[in-house]
Amino acid sequence: MMDFEKLGAFYLGKRFDVGADTLTDDLLLYDSKDLTTHAVIIGMTGSGKTGLGIGLLEEAAIDKTPVIAIDPKGDMGNIMLAFPDFAPERFLPWVNARQASDQGFTAEQFSVKQASLWKKGLSDWGQDGKRVARLKESADVAIYTPGSNAGLPVSVLQSFAAPSEELLDDIDAYRDRIESTATGILSLLQIDADPITSREHILLANILDRTWREGRGLDIASLINEIQNPPFERVGVMDLNSFFPSKDRFALAMRLNNLLAAPGFDAWLQGEPLNAASLFYSDTGKPRISVMSIAHLDDSQRMFFVCMLLNEIIAWMRAQPGTSSLRAILYMDEIMGYLPPTANPPSKKLFLTLLKQARAYGLGLVLATQNPVDLDYKGLSNTGTWFIGRLQTERDKARVMEGLEGAAKGGKFDKQAMERTLAGLGKRRFLLHNVHEDEAVVFGTRWVMSYLAGPMTRGQIKTLMAPLKSAAPAAAAPERRDAVDSNADAPVLPPEIRQYFGVSGGDNVTYYPRLVAAAELRYANARYGVDELRDTLFTVEFSDGSVTVDWDNAEKHTQNTDAFNTSGDDGAGYSECPSAAASAKNYAKWEKAFKRWVRENETIVLYRNKRYRLTSEPGESEGEFRVRLQGLANEKRDQAVSKLRKRYATKATTLENRLLRAIQTLDREKQQSTKKKLDTAVSFGTAILGSLLGRKRISSSTAGRMGTAIRSAGGASKEAGDVKRAGQTVKKVRGDLQQLEKALSDEIDALDAAFDAQEEELTEVTVRAKTTDVSVPLFGLAWIPYSDGGDKRLDISWNG
């Protein structure tokens, strides 16, 4: 097996020797933290761009890095087609029947071939079923289809909710949020609106600004009403009706209403709210790969959705603490039209904001395109990594060459050599230019673990996501009661009993009695930095048994004390009041019991991790804490790896210099040995020839030459020994380098490459309010309103 499972490193392929035109055994490992300076993947159709993108997402999943992938073509959903057992029946639903037929196979036969092909392909790249299983275990994967119920639906229109206080305080970000939201809404109506000159845009921007600053959110229905009756009378210095007459506003409202009433539009209102945190992580804090498939949408709907999603991601990003490690990835396949060089669609400003600011928050962008000329130059200049595949036109090559030459870090740029390299790129061959590395390299992409079935249809997505839909918890049904005979008047109770009447939101109201209690609790714990004040509201039904009130059966409400009136609705009916509830003396003991119960049960639970000495914050769920824990672990991992590399770099440099000197010495000794051997051969040969030519005796000159030859032979023997010793030195230094490399690898492995916040042990710390820090500002008999929907069943209609 190849050793590519490295801390914080993505296994993308192997280096390609351009001169020899062959793939080498050198692995191409890409540091994940380099993605914080973003990346762009460029390559024409057939270059292997999709395979590289999916391979990158697979590595992110294994590295516990969450991803939101915007998918305009339908290819990225293939990441769900990973089969650890390589069973042909798992491939069968996804094979291309026409491709099978063209090759003379049935679909069943073709699925067998594809399963075998994928198993062998992965094996050739050092991968197996265990790694595929690890991919599936490392992250949850889901396909979302806004405006459709084929995949998981997502309620995009809930994104008109008021932004956070942090965003409101950031003037530039808040202005961008208003502008892109207004433009996105108008794009749905196919209105090409300029933020400066369009009165439609100015009206919507002012409505959004006013309602958001008042802390109010909007949906389509309320926005229609706001357009007809804006919450202001002037726009700038002009009267509202002069700027935008009421009949014209009504026409705009009708256009929006027609969109709302259009068949199929209700799909935009279904599903979970568009929330970046839940798209990046599950409720338990497990990283997710959320594929946002928009292939089924038209251009205006795509632009609207992308703008809403980018707005949400920016808001999420700004709520995160800064980090130098990679926290999450935003991937977009086929960026063409969303970040163009000349036009200014609403998505452009949002993408540029992310490219400029996301690095500080550990959010990396990966943008893929067929043509580099379709990308704004400011966007390209803000990407630190370029993956360049086969290009289609000379114009594309010129644009890439211009960018590479401009990105050269003060060194020499061999333009001709680079042009030859780009011209020679074949399928699944990419030039990697990374500002964090000293030189560009060419590599071949590895075999992806996911089966590349091609763009997915809505039917295929529906099949894939059916198990997730069935596993999703059903929404809680509204509380209902059987209609009973009721009195027209409230029962007469002792004046000592405080009565509260729930604010009703329905007609034909009938009130049912409950015991209500509101508590204010102060939690203080200096050790864990807790100082919180919380308000809670509970109601409990009266029982007929020996225990009239059991607080363990109490229901906690989101309403507060403002959800009660001092009297009931006119004409309302009242259910019978239990006799125990009509006795004033019972309330004192019930309140005393409530104080004990609420102190014991309303606690703040903190999560503590001993390994990293980290404690959760009040209100932080276990899943949110594990996400933060994973981020801290990644930071510490990257810091530790960086320190190790620096420490070993000094040792490696010393050994490399020693190796260079040893090799130079070996070469010199070889040259000297060769020369000495030649001199000895000539001298000795001449002496031997002199005696072999028939001379009867050896002359003094011949004897001299013989002596010189004998001494030269001894010198040659010494030179041969020097060569041997120099060779041994070279061998030893090379061995020392290998040992150093192994020691570094062992130390990195010792940092625990398999760290998983999902498996990390947590201990719970319970913080309770002191008895003296519990107060009960509201306690008494509550009348909760129910309304008859016409089927003789009553639904709770308590507003608040």
Report pLDDT for 642.
80
- Cα-flanking dihedrals φ and ψ of residue 263, to 5°? -55, 135
Structure-token match 């309304």, residue found: 787
Structure-token match 């309620």, residue found: 155
- Write the DSSP assignment of 161-187 as a string of letters: SPPPHHHHH-HHHHHHHHHHHHHHHHH
Torsion of Cα atoms, 259 then 260 then 265 then 270, to 10°:
150
Torsion of Cα atoms, 319 then 322 then 327 then 331, to 10°:
70
SS3 573: strand
Q: How far is residue 432's CA from residue 418's CA, in Å, rounded to a whole number?
A: 12
321 CB neighbour count, 10 Å cutoff: 11
661 CB neighbour count, 10 Å cutoff: 13
Judge whether 91 and 111 are in contact, CB under 8 Å.
yes
Q: How far is residue 781's CA from residue 386's CA, in Å, rounded to a whole number?
A: 68
Distance between start and end Cα atoms, the chain: 62
- With a cut of 90, say whether residue 373 has pLDDT above it: no
Please calculate the CA angle 748-63-70 and round it to the nearest 5 degrees. Answer: 155
C-alpha dist (Å) from residue 389 to 178, 208, 311, 335: 38, 44, 31, 16
Strand 604-609's sheet: what is its strand order? 614-615, 604-609, 763-767
Q: How confident is the model at residue 712 (pLDDT cuts 50, 70, 90)?
A: low
Indicate if the alpha-carbon torsion angle 387, 9, 32, 85 is positive or negative: positive
Q: What is the mean pLDDT of the chain?
A: 85
Domains and CATH numbers, the chain: 1-119+127-153+271-471 (3.40.50.300), 156-266 (no CATH), 481-603+768-796 (no CATH), 622-750 (1.10.287)
Query: How many residues are present in the chain?
Result: 800
Tokens linked to 395 = 């114009």
Structure-token match 């993505």, residue found: 10
Q: How confident is the model at residue 684 (pLDDT cuts 50, 70, 90)?
A: very low
Which of 395, 405, 355 has its CA nearest to residue 376?
355
For 532, the enclosing helix (H) or strand (E) is: strand 530-540
Least confident of 22-26, 66-70, 476-480, 530-534: 476-480
Indicate if the alpha-carbon torsion angle 707, 712, 717, 722 is positive or negative: positive
631-670 pLDDT, tens digit per residue, is 888 888 888 878 877 887 788 788 778 877 877 787 777 7
408-423 pLDDT, tens digit per residue, is 655 566 788 888 888 8
728-777 pLDDT, tens digit per residue, is 887 887 888 788 777 877 777 666 555 677 778 899 999 999 999 999 99
For 445, the enclosing helix (H) or strand (E) is: strand 441-445
Q: How far is residue 501's CA from residue 513's CA, in Å, rounded to a whole number?
A: 9
DSSP β-ladder status, 604-609 and 530-540:
unpaired
In this prediction the pTM is: 0.79
- With a cut of 50, say whether residue 439 has pLDDT above it: yes
Q: Higher model confidence: residue 448 or residue 166?
A: 448
Q: How far is residue 268's CA from residue 145's CA, in Å, rounded to a whole number?
A: 9
Rounded average pLDDT over 684-696: 40
Q: How far is residue 570's CA from residue 344's CA, in Å, rounded to a whole number?
A: 57
